[in-house]
Amino acid sequence: MEKQNYNHLTRTFRRLSRFGHLSAIAGWDMSTYMPPNGSTARAEALAELSVLQHQILTDKKTVTFLQAAAQEDLNDVERANLREMTRQYQEAVVLPDSLVEEKSLVGSRCEHGWRTQRPANDWQGFATNLKEVVRVSREEARLRADAKGKSPYDALLDLYEPGMTSEKLDVVFGDLRSWLPDLLQKVVDKQSSRPAVDPVGPFATGTQRELGLDTMRMLGFDFNGGRLDVSAHPFCGGVPEDVRITTRYDESDLITSLFGVIHETGHASYEQNLPREWLGQPVALARSTAIHESQSLFFEMQLGRSKAFLNLLLPKIIARFGNQPAFETQNFIAVNQRVERGFIRVDADEVSYPAHVILRYEIERALIDGDIEVDDIPALWDEKMQHWLGLSTKDNYRNGCMQDIHWTDGAFGYFPSYTLGAMYAAQLFNAASRALPQLESDIAEGSFTALFDWLRQNIWQHGSRFTTSQLMTNATGEDLNPLYFRKHLESRYL
């Protein structure tokens, strides 16, 4: 039997992928090189592109092709692709073109304003734009909730982590709550008896960039299919054939930028190793945001902060910046495994990091479900920071509720991915260590071939062929098990 309907769909989705390519590169440019006066025109161009993609995807004939293709003789990969096509269609068809356009416009305006409002600690200016984003996001959540029979927040969460619900999250995060504060206190107490000496700058930006590029090469980044640039908030963008990662530099702080690069290289490695033969189809996309975060945290935390990798990195740092007391081996490891309560999520260690995520999850869920308003955020943020980390953010908006970029474009439901990703990363590293007995000595020697082959075989090459649960079970022998994350933290820090 011919796959006429399925083949028609693959042509449609290939076309959508090409428009997505243009949108991704234009968005990357907007965050890196675009002069400020180009903001409004670029926002309008991207909104126009998003409406065009939405119209193609939600064409009245699409549902007929999807239904007919389901009756055709498809292999396993094609069935998975059809499942992902159907999912994309169902997510899109509930939204009118006007809302898609408005979301893009208010998001661009809020993000562009944030760039100057955050340094100025201008909560009032930011809140004005954020209220528009929340208004549109609530409308989107209502439409999705009605279609899916879920709560408004769960309908958005499902976009990023298919199948995840706040009920499941409350169980996973509830478990974290039961032991994380105690672990955090024990580690802080233990480390306070041997405080680490910080590296003393200045560390020239150009030299930091060279170190970052060298580390990316060591970690297998393909520079024929990607590049490193600077942005206000580090990210990984572009497309699998042309991956764009960014970092930000501070000449008084060498570590933050370097590990930002390692983190984004984890994202990039996933993108660069997605199944080439399926590119342009939904089945070739990364499985979910939590699986994506598992790859960046696998690189940054499981691998990057390990003693073996830090020993590998140290001579490269000394060669570029000269030696100093902070670069004594044990001290350098202590600096990079330091646990402390801080304001900034992207700079947080892996023990305190989940607190930042749970705080945002609780606020964004209440915001989308209509239990709180934008004006309530600063006080709630301060209250939760004091509860989790003993820090006050009263009137300190730049280091509190204005520090992140995710809410500016309406990415509500994204934040839980970070801690789910940390849990997946610990579980994957445990499985890789069991499969590769020589892993620690390989890392110490700078040999990552076996490790990356394992990731390629178990995660990267599958794209969205399997559900998250199937992918993890195939790779590790079980679905998400937060116990591996706890064991990892206790083993490394206690």
Query: Does 306 share its domain with 234?
Result: yes
Average pLDDT, integer, range 436-450: 97
Average pLDDT, integer, range 447-465: 98
Average pLDDT, integer, range 48-77: 97
Query: Does 106 share its domain with 196?
Result: no
State how beta strands 242-247 and 226-230 pair: parallel
What residues form DSSP beta bridges with 238?
243
pLDDT at 2 over 90: no
Q: Which residue has the tokens 């968005």?
A: 27
Q: How far apart are CA 268 and CA 225, in angstroms?
A: 10
pLDDT digits (tens, 9 = 90+) for 380-389: 999 999 999 9
Query: End of a domain among 160, 185, 218?
Result: 160
pLDDT at 35 over 90: yes
User: At 198, which CATH number?
Assistant: 1.10.1370.30
Average pLDDT, integer, range 209-213: 98
Query: Does 133 share its domain with 231?
Result: no
The pLDDT, as a whole number, for residue 412 is 98
Distance from chain centroid for Cα 167: 22
pLDDT band at 16 (very low <50, low <70, confident <90, very high): very high
Average pLDDT, integer, range 245-258: 96
pLDDT digits (tens, 9 = 90+) for 297-307: 999 999 999 99
Average pLDDT, integer, range 180-198: 96
Q: Which two tokens stand for residue 429?
A: 């590293």
pLDDT at 443 over 80: yes
Q: Can you tell me whether residue 446 is helix, strand or coil?
A: coil
The pLDDT, as a whole number, for residue 245 is 98
pLDDT at 101 over 70: yes
Q: Hey, what long-range contacts does 365-372 have (CB within 8 A, 24 or more apart)?
A: 365/153, 365/166, 367/134, 367/412, 368/134, 368/137, 368/138, 368/141, 368/152, 368/153, 368/156, 368/412, 368/413, 369/151, 369/152, 369/153, 370/138, 370/152
Query: Does 38 share its domain with 167?
Result: no
Residue 277 bears catalytic tag: no
pLDDT band at 492 (very low <50, low <70, confident <90, very high): very high
pLDDT at 116 over 80: yes
73 burial level (CB within 10 Å; 0-12, 13-18, 19+) = exposed
Q: What is the pTM of this model?
A: 0.95
**Strand (E) or helix (H) holding 488:** helix 483-493
Sheet containing strand 242-247, edge to edge, reads 226-230, 242-247, 236-239
pLDDT digits (tens, 9 = 90+) for 220-248: 999 999 999 999 889 999 999 999 999 99
Query: Does 188 share its domain with 153?
Result: no
Query: End of a domain among 126, 160, 194?
Result: 160
pLDDT digits (tens, 9 = 90+) for 376-414: 999 999 999 999 999 999 999 999 999 999 999 999 999
The pLDDT, as a whole number, for residue 322 is 98
Q: Say if CB 57 and CB 90 are below 8 A apart.
A: no
What one-letter code names the amino acid at 481?
Answer: N
- Nearest Cα to 447, choosing from 106, 216, 194, 218? 218
State how beta strands 226-230 and 236-239 pair: unpaired
Cα 419 to Cα 60, 166, 169, 267, 356: the distances in Å are: 39, 14, 10, 15, 9
CB within 8 A of 25, min separation 6: which ones?
238, 239, 242, 244
Q: How far apart are CA 81 and CA 202, in angstroms?
A: 51
Query: Does 152 share its domain with 176?
Result: no
Query: Does 146 share its domain with 250?
Result: no
Query: Does 103 share its domain with 194?
Result: no
Structural domains counted in the chain? 2
pLDDT band at 478 (very low <50, low <70, confident <90, very high): very high
List 111, 264, 271, 293, catalytic entry: 264
pLDDT at 79 over 90: yes
Query: Does 205 share its domain with 305?
Result: yes
What residues form DSSP beta bridges with 239?
242
Query: Does 21 share its domain with 142?
Result: yes
What residues form DSSP beta bridges with 228?
245
The pLDDT, as a whole number, for residue 233 is 83
Q: Which residue has the tokens 């090189």?
A: 33
| H helices present in 197-253, as ranges | 205-218
What residues form DSSP beta bridges with 242?
239
The pLDDT, as a whole number, for residue 365 is 97
Per DSSP (E only), the strands in 126-273 are 226-230, 236-239, 242-247
Average pLDDT, integer, range 151-156: 97
pLDDT band at 42 (very low <50, low <70, confident <90, very high): very high
The pLDDT, as a whole number, for residue 232 is 85
pLDDT at 1 over 70: no
DSSP designation for 453? H
Average pLDDT, integer, range 447-467: 98
Mean pLDDT across the chain = 97
Query: Does 262 share its domain with 225?
Result: yes
Q: Say if CB 363 and CB 402 are below 8 A apart.
A: no
pLDDT at 425 over 70: yes
Structural domain boundaries enclosing 353: 162-494
Q: Which two tokens stand for residue 139?
A: 């409308």
Query: End of a domain among 160, 184, 206?
Result: 160
Phi, then psi, of 243 in degrees rounded to 5? -85, 125
Q: Taking CA 234 as the corner, what is the angle to CA 232 and CA 238, rounded to the nearest 5 degrees?
A: 110
CB within 8 A of 71, min separation 6: which ones?
none
With residues binned 3-state (H G I as helix, E B as strand, rest as coil), the percentages for the chain, rounded to 5, are 70, 5, 25
Q: How far apart are CA 24 and CA 254, in angstroms?
A: 29
Q: How far apart are CA 405 and CA 135, in angstroms?
A: 17
Query: Does 156 share its domain with 228?
Result: no
Cα 98 to Cα 101, 186, 476: the distances in Å are: 5, 52, 44
